[in-house]
Chains A and B, each alone.
Chain A
Amino acid sequence: MERTITITIDGAKLRVPEGTSVLEAAIRYGICIPHLCHMHGISDIGACRLCVVEHVKNGRSRVTASCTLEARDGMDIRANSPRIRHIRRNIAELLVAEAPNSRAIQDIAVRCGVKNVRYPFRNSNCVLCGKCVRICAEHLHANAIGFAGRGRNRKVVFPFGTRPEFCRLCGMCITHCPMTIPPCDGPMRPGQERLCGKCESQLQINEKFDIVGMCTWCDLGKGFQCGRYAGAR
């Protein structure tokens, strides 16, 4: 029989099977932790850092990504404290300033409470979430794409720059890419990038009742491929 453990997230006690990540546990119980690089059923790398939570242990709290944090019995997690929301907001701001030309990124920015962007916009095509690389390697066992380069030269490429034979053109990489769907108003041309923010109404349901941490099946989650939609399917 499957062993279960109990963890506490924002005061709520959750019973989950052993080996579940904190993020998966939260998603399962409808506690909203925004995330980008997490995919249901695929290994987590902790790259986007949107899912950061406070892990309180012996009276000291440590900020860590919840997707790579395995739930252990008796864990105390704060997923929506002011400190965490502030960090999340800043990370979302970095993301939307880097790659505003995506509905997913714009939705994340709204969900994380970005009201204005303090950096000059860029128009990158890739946020290096690594979903494509992992789905190709773990789900399709093709390993047709991977990361190359370091730091700001990091990019997703075919080996040696050409499409290998073992790429089956299945298109899963494109399906899961958060950058393929443009913002609702259409693609932003260079120089016209902005924070969209039209979906703020989605947020109000939440904030009116001061239940920021609860999933309301908002449309924002559809935008950034929230794990809860994937789990429900």
Chain B
Amino acid sequence: MPELTSVQSLAELRRQITARRASFKTTITICGGTGCSASGSQPVVEALRRELAGRGLQNTVLLRTTGCHGFCEQGPLMVIDPGGIFYCHVTPDDAAEIVARTVVEGQVVERLLYTDPVSGRKIRTESEIPFYKAQNRVLLSLNRLVDPTSIEDYIAIGGYAALEKVLAGMKPEEVIEQIKASGLRGRGGGGFPTGRKWESCRAAHGSPKYVVCNADEGDPGAYMDRSLLEGNPHSVLEGMIIGAYAIGASHGFIYVRREYPLAVKHARQAVEQAREYGLLGKNILGTGFSFDVEIARGGGAFVCGESTALMASLEGRPGEPRAKDVHTVEAGYRNKPTNLNNVETWANVPHIINRGAQWFAAMGTEGSKGTKIFALTGRVRNTGLVEVPMGTALRTIVFDIGGGPSNGAAIKAVQTGGPSGGCLPAEKFDLPVDFEALDQAGSMVGSGGMVVMDEHTCMVDVARYFLEFLLDESCGKCVPCRLGIDRMLEILNDITAGRGTPQQIELLEDLAQTVAQASLCGLGKTAPNPVLSTLRYFRHEYEAHIRDRKCPAGVCRALISYSIDAAKCTGCGVCAAACPSGAISGAKKQPHTIDAGKCTRCGICRSECRFNAIMVA
């Protein structure tokens, strides 16, 4: 492929690619993201390829392996166009039937269709599925349309058109004005206005300037950055090139976790392809603007997602934050002005340039514009990646998109914003999800993790779990974070083990405030959020643990006891056979009993019992 040397040649290339692809009548799209790969999408691709070749259809049917579609729980996913027929849980054995029935005859294979768990009916196309229907997928919808390893796919759907527009006649200041007018705010969690960040980085003294893409996504349960970088790396790259042009940067980095091998691979391929096509490197599209990107792999420290720690790590020093009284836009990587944005932020940039700031600003709330991707997990029927306009009510996300509770138990809370976010109770589900509203409610948008919890989740135990994670991931540099989290965890361990005292709740609150105010970096400053938010909304659970020595959710082992409901027990003996400590005894077909002395409260009997006869109190 010859290098593109002018802005016009890119548009010409797009026409050529589209013309070349006119012969394909049908497109089979299979998700090859990490989630679907884990559930076995690769063998499906190979089976389909064999099947198509066997029937001589390889020139009329386009088989495309794409990035994540978002509905990972139902993987491997497949969409057949035209028609948008949606199949889930596809196996290699289905390949022959899919080609024979759907591709050739245009019929639908009923058994592969998705069944709506709420209504119980089969759904034919992707757009009718409630999980997708309530979303507004600006970024994620592109994942389905491109093969992440092919720059031509991206160009064919209009990729790099925004770069074209920018280089063809926009001044850097105009680009920044557009971004500012759109109201885009940082998607990594801080929510700092992106346009203002670019502006101050452009105005900062020093050269060279750098732009960095933060793909060091460390939150347990959040994976939108991975899916974007894996599924559509060129959109991130395009955003970065536009940003670099606006800021006046000549060099960029994508800092991505080593634990995301597919994202690393796809990002690296994307950079190489963009270089080949003359979209990166010296004299981009013949405009005289030069910019290149390097891939830097992070070692997997959560704290390296913090801007100063990330830049220390980029420089090859230990990933520890420094004081941020001087911002990184003035002195970041190698003490030069550095503009750091999250993957999702960069991916939004081409859309804003293409469709205009007004279009973007029309979505969302007063202070938070556009859409945001959330990783919906926990006790809901539909889990996966969810992209909704800012300001969507929590209730919509949990009940309409998530499909409500997965096992009939009432939903109690949603934990938003990853480990350093907060838990919001069901009474707060009408809150619009935007930066301000969640902040005021004691949580945060954060990177966009959303863990749904039902009444079988103990909130004290949840706070304890997140603190354990944060203590492990704290760099240990400053005292409030290192010792403060340690002591908070010590207190929570006491409470969940039944050794808690009423004074400890006050101490916990006092200490949490100190850690939040005095810590060096964002990790420590937000670390007490799980404790503070659960204390604010679920104080009664803490009190029950301390005063009544009971765990209302039946989770904390030291505070619960198992017993068998004689009325429900059929004496089948399954529980007795499963019990690892031999604590269950009873005659056949007679109600069994649990010896509390031997019982280790592991809960295996409860999950094994088919008659709901095991009670926890």
Chain A residues with CB under 8 Å of chain B are 45-50, 52, 63-65, 68-70, 86-87, 90-91, 94-95, 97-98, 118-120, 127-128, 147, 149-154
Contact = CB atoms under 8 A, between A and B. Distances in A.
B615 interface: no
Interface residue SS majority, chain B = helix
Contacts of A68: 322-323, 325
A55 to B, nearest CB: 8
B514 A87 contact: yes
Nearest to A46: B323
Contact of B325 (A69, A97, A118, A120): A69
A154 B475 contact: yes
A154 B483 contact: no
Given A94-B484, A150-B473, A151-B473, A46 B478 contact: yes
Contact of B479 (A95, A119, A149): A95
A91 B479 CA distance: 7
Interface string B483-502: 11011001000000000000
B480 A94 contact: yes
B107 interface: no
Interface stretch (B51-59, B233-241, B378-386, B516-524): B516-524
Closest 9 CB pairs of A and B: A154-B476, A68-B323, A90-B514, A94-B483, A151-B474, A63-B517, A151-B476, A46-B323, A49-B518
Contact of A128 (B472, B476, B487, B514): B476
B318 interface: yes
Contacts of B478: 46-49
Given A52-B518, A91-B518, A151-B472, A47 B323 contact: no
A151 B471 CA distance: 6
Nearest to A55: B325
Given A90-B514, A94-B487, A118-B507, A49 B476 contact: no
B477 interface: yes
A119 B490 contact: yes
Nearest to A88: B518
B318 to A, nearest CB: 7
Interface string B388-427: 0000000000000000000000000000000000000000
Contacts of B471: 151-152
A91 B481 CA distance: 10
Contacts of A128: 476-477, 482
Contact of B517 (A46, A87, A152): A87
Looking at B326, B474, B511, B517, which has the most chain A CB atoms within 10 Å of its CB?
B517
A49 B483 CA distance: 12
Contacts of A45: 322, 477
Contacts of B482: 128, 151-152, 154
B323 A48 contact: no
B301 interface: yes
B325 A49 contact: no
Contacts of A118: 503, 507
B483 A95 contact: yes
Contacts of A147: 318, 476
A152 B486 contact: yes
Contact of B514 (A91, A127, A151, A152): A91
B510 interface: yes
Contacts of B484: 94
A69 B520 CA distance: 12
Contacts of B507: 118
B510 A64 contact: no
Between A64, A95, A149, the greatest number of chain B beta carbons within 10 A of the residue's beta carbon is seen for: A64
A150 B322 contact: no
A129 to B, nearest CB: 9
Nearest to A67: B323
A91 B475 contact: no
Contacts of A153: 476
28 contacts: A46-B520, A47-B477, A47-B520, A48-B478, A49-B478, A49-B480, A49-B518, A52-B518, A63-B517, A63-B518, A64-B325, A68-B322, A69-B325, A87-B514, A87-B518, A90-B511, A90-B518, A94-B511, A118-B503, A127-B479, A128-B476, A150-B475, A151-B471, A151-B472, A151-B475, A151-B482, A154-B477, A154-B482
Nearest to B514: A90
Contacts of B303: 150
B280 to A, nearest CB: 35
A127 B471 CA distance: 16
Given A68-B323, A151-B474, A90 B510 contact: yes
Contacts of A47: 477-479, 520
Given A45-B477, A47-B477, A150-B474, A98 B483 contact: yes
A66 B250 CA distance: 35
Contact of A91 (B322, B325, B480, B503): B480
Contact of B487 (A52, A65, A119): A119
Nearest to B475: A150
A98 B477 CA distance: 15
Contacts of B503: 118
A118 B503 CA distance: 9
Contacts of B322: 45-46, 68
Nearest to A89: B514
B52 to A, nearest CB: 50
Interface in B518-557: 518-520
Contacts of B325: 64, 68-70
A63 B513 CA distance: 12
A221 B471 CA distance: 32
Contacts of B480: 49, 91, 94
Contacts of B326: 70
A49 B486 contact: no
Nearest to B470: A151
A64 B524 CA distance: 13
B480 to A, nearest CB: 5
Nearest to B319: A150
B515 to A, nearest CB: 9
A153 to B, nearest CB: 7
Residue from A50, A90, A128 with most neighbouring chain B CB atoms (10 Å): A90
A90 B517 CA distance: 11
B374 to A, nearest CB: 28
Contacts of A154: 475-477, 482
Contacts of B520: 46-47, 49, 65
A8 B474 CA distance: 34
Interface string B445-472: 0000000000000000000000000011
